[in-house]
């Protein structure tokens, strides 16, 4: 079934073949206005394309005030529309286990801002996690089972131990507390779909402006959804009946005034 530009079937959401044909037949771009139209069309489908932002970075740079230059790099990006992760972009993938295999549900990628490019690798890895959680919040918020976050950076495992936080990490702590998840380490060579960044162990300590904080304490990750029980239904029924009696009493009191 075609719905809002995608094809929906049992257990699947995929790109419309008509739209795919349009992309494949798109003529080579010759000016900025044509590029803007192409990027606007492609942005709708970027969640289906692995690490979309990195390869398209060569094209998005042409939308600025820079002089129009269409070379081999731009043409390759235009033809491929697929990429790995790098220091200039991050990418993540949402997967679910189905019939014994992990299958991708959606891809997400983002070109880093100038400020984000200056982050230490430690913070870039955490930023990727925060962006992924925010992008798929409607899937992950209040999950009854732990959401597994696989990353190729071993240092992220230490978030369950006391840490001295910088300003970015302190803000992220509050947001992380809304999710029920487990961090797991997967080497970059095995984490092909979301090889976010090349490994690097050093990172700035920053100002010693706070004490040791446990970022991912178990108490932060309690599911917000509770299964209803017969006892719960009885309590709701009792309170509802009481409210009806109160409403009747108030109405009677007002009639005698």
pLDDT at 191 over 60: no
d(CA 131, CA 137) in angstroms, rounded, equals: 10
* Mean pLDDT calculated for residue range 163-178: 82
Measured at the CA of 188, the angle between CA 162 and CA 118, to 5 degrees, comes to: 60
Per residue in 98-116, pLDDT tens?
888 877 788 777 777 778 8
186-192 CB contacts, 8 Å cutoff, 24+ apart: 186/150, 186/151, 186/152, 187/152, 188/152, 190/152, 191/150, 191/151, 191/152
Per residue in 53-102, pLDDT tens?
777 777 888 888 877 878 777 777 776 653 333 456 677 788 888 888 87
Q: Sorting pLDDT into bands at 50, 70 and 90, what band is 118?
A: confident
* Mean pLDDT calculated for residue range 179-184: 81
Contact yes or no for 162/199 (Cβ under 8 A): no
d(CA 241, CA 85) in angstroms, rounded, equals: 59
More confident residue, 168 or 220: 168
Residue 48's Cβ-side half-sphere holds a number of Cα atoms within 13 Å equal to 14
d(CA 1, CA 250) in angstroms, rounded, equals: 53
More confident residue, 56 or 4: 56
pLDDT of residue 30: 81
pLDDT at 168 over 50: yes
User: What are the Cα distances from residue 97, in Å, to 28, 100, 116, 159, 233?
Assistant: 39, 6, 32, 26, 33
Measured at the CA of 93, the angle between CA 167 and CA 13, to 5 degrees, comes to: 135
pLDDT of residue 257: 57
What are the structural domains of the chain? 1-83 (3.30.70), 118-240 (no CATH)
pLDDT at 210 over 60: no
Per residue in 216-239, pLDDT tens?
555 444 443 445 556 666 776 776
pLDDT of residue 193: 45
Closest CA to 133 of 141, 121, 125: 141
């Amino acid at each position: 079934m075609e719905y809002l530009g995608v094809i929906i079937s049992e257990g699947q959401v995929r790109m419309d073949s008509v739209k795919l044909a349009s992309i494949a037949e798109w003529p080579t771009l010759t000016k900025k206005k044509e590029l803007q139209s192409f990027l606007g069309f492609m942005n709708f489908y970027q969640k289906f394309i692995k690490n979309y932002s990195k390869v398209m970075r060569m094209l998005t740079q042409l939308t600025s005030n820079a002089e129009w230059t269409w070379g081999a790099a731009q043409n390759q990006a235009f033809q491929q529309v697929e990429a790995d992760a790098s220091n200039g972009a991050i990418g993540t993938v949402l997967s679910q286990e189905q019939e014994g295999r992990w299958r991708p549900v959606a891809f997400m990628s983002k070109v880093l801002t100038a400020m984000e490019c200056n982050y230490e690798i430690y913070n870039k890895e955490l930023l990727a996690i925060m962006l992924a959680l925010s992008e798929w919040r409607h899937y992950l918020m209040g999950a009854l089972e732990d959401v597994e976050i696989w990353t190729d950076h071993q240092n992220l495992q230490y978030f369950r131990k006391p840490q001295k936080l910088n300003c970015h990490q302190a803000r992220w702590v509050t947001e992380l507390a809304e999710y029920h998840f487990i961090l797991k380490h997967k080497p970059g060579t095995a984490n092909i779909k979301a090889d976010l960044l090349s490994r690097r162990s050093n990172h700035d300590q920053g100002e010693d402006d706070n004490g040791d904080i446990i970022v991912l304490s178990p108490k932060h990750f309690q599911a917000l959804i509770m299964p209803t029980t017969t006892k719960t239904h009885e309590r709701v029924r009792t309170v509802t009946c009481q409210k009806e009696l109160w409403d009747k009493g108030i109405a009677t009191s007002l009639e005698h005034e």
